[in-house]
Amino acid sequence: MSTYTQILYQIVFSTKNRDKVLIKSGRETLYKYIWGILKNNKCHLYRLNGVEDHIHMVIHLHPTVALSTLVKDIKVASTIYCKSENLFPGFQGWQEGYGAFTYAFKEKGRLVEYVKNQEIHHKQVSFKDEYRNLLNEHGVQFEEKYLL
């Protein structure tokens, strides 16, 4: 018997101190690099996007990959890459922690559109409010003091 899964995640994390350093001109290069990491881990990327201080990914997580290991690999490797290429002046790395939220596959279209439109979305809603809303929507208990 084979293993069949459909594990749809939205993964969100911010720059260290929520610094607004992810300048638009370098984001596409960063996204391609992260896409390579996902492909090397047999994960399928549906959408990756972000703004100056955070990114969102919509992925299918391969069943042989641990979520925490994948996120750690992405953050460590992309930090080294961004610094070595001086992709974003002032980039110090990523925040500790991340948000990861599962979705029913039937929600993929809506989720991909949401991530695709991050720049428009964040003209109206701050990252902190967006993140708080995601946590509440998914029933995740959190302490306000850790939202920075």
Q: Which CATH class is domain 8-147?
A: alpha beta
Order the strands of the 44-51 sheet from edge to edge: 44-51, 54-60, 8-14, 99-103
Question: Domain locations in the chain?
Answer: 8-147
Name the packing angle between helices 67-84 and 24-40 (round to 10°). 140
* Contact indicator for 25, 118 with CB cutoff of 8 Å: no
Q: What is the CA radius of gyration of the chain?
A: 15
Per-residue pLDDT of the chain (148 residues; tens, 9 = 90+): 788 898 899 999 999 999 999 999 999 999 999 999 999 999 999 999 999 999 999 999 999 999 999 999 999 999 999 999 999 999 999 999 999 999 999 999 999 999 999 989 888 988 889 999 999 999 999 888 877 6
Q: Which residue in the block uniquely carries the two structure tokens 């701050």?
A: 126
DSSP 83-122: HHTT-STT---B-S--EEEEE-GGGHHHHHHHHHTHHHHT
